[in-house]
Amino acid sequence: MQQYIDSYDFNGKKAIVRVDFNVPLDENFNITDDTRIRRAIPTLKKVLAGGGSLIIMSHLGRPKKVDPKFSLGHIVGRVSECLGVPVQFADDCQKAAAQAAALKPGEVLLLENLRYYAEEEGKPRGLAEDASDDEKKAAKAAVKASQKEFTKTLASYADCYINDAFGTAHRAHASTALIAEYFPNDKMFGYLMEGEIKAIDNVLKNAQRPLTAIIGGSKVSSKLAVLKNLVGKVDNLIIGGGMGYTFVKAQGGNVGNSLHEDELIPDALEILKEAKEKGVNVSLSVAAVCAQEFSNDAPRKVFPIDQIPEDWEGMDASDASLENWKKIILASKTVLWNGPVGVFELPNFAKGTLQIAEDLAEATKLGAYTLVGGGDSVAAVTKMGYSDKVSYVSTGGGAMLEAIEGKILPGIAAIQE
């Protein structure tokens, strides 16, 4: 049975909390962005304020074995600073029983990187490249079997389980999903997860209309399921960035050297057909800022979206496209945005994406509910200083995408079921 963090009695209890402390580190192991730590603090403080103690667990990077480069030891100091209490460290997440047992109310223990163990993800490691199918199968069965023990050990440290790691909610890992079964009556979401789930529901389940989705990024293939799910739900679907050119080509346009995927033309046509049948307004760029080289300093020229010459490549949305999109965004009551509408990494082609960030902030001011997710979109909103001027900035790129594909995320299901 799902519990709720606000009403749960933590007094004298040990809570094991899965957080997403997968923060970026520089070459000297200094944290370059501590957003993920800060976003988990309300949940962690709630447990301590309620008289509980904390066992915090996370992954960091993608180590394939014990590797000091990926040690959570690098972040103990910052976690302690953000929490305002000392933080103990367990340098092996599977051998922390004594430290966990000794925790007194108000005390905090951070476990070493869960992904030092293959059991966290439940995927075999170190398989020879030429391993046979039978060998692969056996290795998978072996890691799945030891995953149970791994999960049980983590669960044995605590009286209750909190999942506050939205960034990994789409993974059925030991710490994100499997562990929940050991806490049938003592499992709950942290505040961050609750916020993320509510934000997605505000868009997919309880949206005020008109509802507009802006989907950008490089390829249709990576967001095909997102587009297919959204086309049945939204009033306006703005398709920008590299993925727009497949839609332009599907309708007979010349996209020149722009990014496109010929093999996805049938899917693009299917989405356009469904949109038409459902009365959904699909809005593509009307013109593109193009270059002949994929470089920031390349000379720029604007061409109509369906008349891009052979050796030119669409790199950003044009002013006319941005004007159209602004009108749609400002007339919306709910807006979802995922993915840049141009090559955001190159400052000379970031204008469109930054403009979308500005439009969302303005729409929010006018009373719309606005949700932003995905690395580049979040970076654009942050760069413009608008993180507090949109309704919600998601912390999970992949998890958010899977949620807007309409999938039930394992990390969410494990708590709710």
Q: Rule CB under 6 A: is residue 242 a binding residue for ligand AMP?
A: yes
Q: Rule CB under 6 A: is residue 112 a binding residue for ligand AMP?
A: no
Binding residue (CB under 6 A) for ligand AMP from 124, 190, 241, 373: 241
Q: Rule CB under 6 A: is residue 167 a binding residue for ligand AMP?
A: no
**Number of residues this chain uses to bind ligand AMP (CB under 6 A):** 17
Q: Rule CB under 6 A: is residue 315 a binding residue for ligand AMP?
A: yes
Q: Rule CB under 6 A: is residue 396 a binding residue for ligand AMP?
A: no
For ligand AMP, what does the binding mask look like between residues 201 and 240, x meaning CB under 6 A? Answer: ----------------xxx--x------------------
From the list 45, 140, 152, 219, the catalytic residue is: 219
> Alpha-carbon distance 52 to 75, whole Å?
22
Binding residue (CB under 6 A) for ligand AMP from 374, 396, 410, 411: 374
For the question of residue 123 being annotated catalytic, the response is no
For the question of residue 39 being annotated catalytic, the response is no
Residue 339 C-beta: closest distance to ligand AMP, Å: 4
For ligand AMP, what does the binding mask look like between residues 322 and 361, x meaning CB under 6 A? Answer: -----------------xx-xxxx----------------
Bond preceding residue 210 cis, omega within 30 of 0: yes
Q: Rule CB under 6 A: is residue 253 a binding residue for ligand AMP?
A: no
For the question of residue 398 being annotated catalytic, the response is yes
Q: Rule CB under 6 A: is residue 259 a binding residue for ligand AMP?
A: yes
List the one residue out of 124, 161, 141 whose CA is nearest residue 18. Answer: 161
Structure tokens at 186: 């003592």
> Alpha-carbon distance 243 to 258, whole Å?
10
Residue 257 C-beta: closest distance to ligand AMP, Å: 10
For the question of residue 367 being annotated catalytic, the response is no
Binding site for ligand AMP (CB under 6 A): 217-219, 222, 241-242, 259, 314-315, 339-340, 342-345, 374, 376
Active site residues: 36, 219, 375, 398
